[in-house]
Amino acid sequence: MATTYLEAIREGIWEEMERDPNVFVIGEDIGIYGGAFKITAGMLDHFGEKRIVDTPISESAIVGAAIGAGMMGLRPVAEMQFADFITCGFDQIVNFAAKCRYRWGASVPIVVRAPSGGGIHGGPFHSQNPEAWFVHTPGLKVITPSTAYDAKGLVKSAIRDNDPVIFFEHKALYRRVKEELPQEDYTVPIGKARVFREGSDLSIITYGAMVYVAEEAATELEKEGISLEIVDLRTLLPIDEGTVLESVKKTSRVILLHEDTLTGGIGGEIAARIGEKAFEYLDAPVMRIAAPDTPVPYSPPLEEAFLPNPQKVLEKARQLLGY
C-alpha cells in the first residue's frame, strides 16, 4: 500500500521512538489533537504524555526546552506548527544550538520540524520558505525532502544525528505524494543529493515541492525531443556540491529553481559555486526561477502568479536552449 509523504514522516518518528526511548516529541497541540497536520495522531495514547509533550503557544519555549533536553542526553523532535513561527525560536537555534559544538564541543541532538511552503492559500504568515536563514548558519543541518521515501529516511537520519537539524516539510506534499516504502528499517544520508530524473540537454537544480514543477516541465519538453535532468538536493546544508557540478558538466545548461523568494535565496549561492568551479562547461548563463521579492499573497490568483510553475520553467528552459 502506498504511503503518503505525511505518513512517511509519521512512521519515521514513530519507529525512532520505538527504537530509542530517549526520543520524544514536543510542540503545540501534538497530544490529544494529534498535531495541526495529524503527524502525531495516536502517539499520545501509545507513548504517553512524558514522550508526547504538549506546550503553550510559545515557539521560544519549545526550542529552549528541546535544546536543554538534548544537552542532557535526550533526542527531542520539536514541532513548529508552521515554519513561519520558527522566528520566535530563531535566536536560540542560530545563536545557541548551532554554536555549541564549536564553542565547547557540546552535542545538541535536536530536530526542529517546520511545515513550510505555499500553494495552500495560507497567506503571508503560513506559507513561507525560510530555509535560506538557516542555510547561512554554520552548525546546523537543513533538510528539504521531496518524496515519501526521502521524508522517512531523512527524518530518521535527523533524529539519529548528534547536531541540530532543521527539517522542512512542504505542506503541499503531505497528501499529494505517495509511494511504496520498504518494510525494513532504512535511512537516507544527510548531505547527499540525487538525480531525480536523468537528462542530457539541461539541468534543473531544485528541492522540495519544486521537484514536481520541474518534472511537469520535463515531461512537456520530452515531447519536443528535449532531455531535462532534475537534481533533487534533498539537503541544503551541507550541500552536495559534487552532484550539482557533475550534472552541470554533463548538460552545460542549468536552471536553479526554488519556491523561496529570489534575493538571498540558495539559488544565488549555487550559481556562484557553478560560476567558480564549472564555468568552462557552461554554454549559456546560469538562470534562476524563484518567487518575487514580496510576502506570499493570500488571494489564490495572486498566490498562483507568485509561485514558480511549469510554464515559467518551460519559458526559461526554451530561452536557455536557444541561447
Summarised one tens digit per residue, pLDDT across range 138-192 is 999 999 999 999 999 999 999 999 999 999 999 999 999 999 999 999 999 999 9
Q: Using CA atoms, how far apart are residues 286 and 38, in angstroms rounded to an integer?
A: 40
Does residue 1 surpass a pLDDT of 90?
A: no
Q: Using one digit for the tens of pLDDT, what is the confidence trace for 240-278?
A: 999 999 999 999 999 999 999 999 999 999 999 999 999
- How does pLDDT run across 189-220, given as a tens digit for each residue? 999 999 999 999 999 999 999 999 999 999 99
Spatial contact of 214 and 230, defined as CB atoms under 8 Å apart: yes
Q: How far apart are CA 240 and CA 248, in angstroms?
A: 13
pLDDT at 38: 95
* CB-count exposure of residue 294 (10 Å: 0-12, 13-18, 19+): exposed
pLDDT digits (tens, 9 = 90+) for 6-22: 999 999 999 999 999 99
Catalytic residue status for 258: no
Active-site residue, from 46, 121, 126, 136: 126
What was the pLDDT predicted at 313? 98
> What is the pLDDT at residue 113?
98
* Ordered domains of the chain (ranges, CATH): 3-179 (3.40.50.970), 194-321 (3.40.50.920)
β-pairing, 194-197 vs 228-232, is: antiparallel
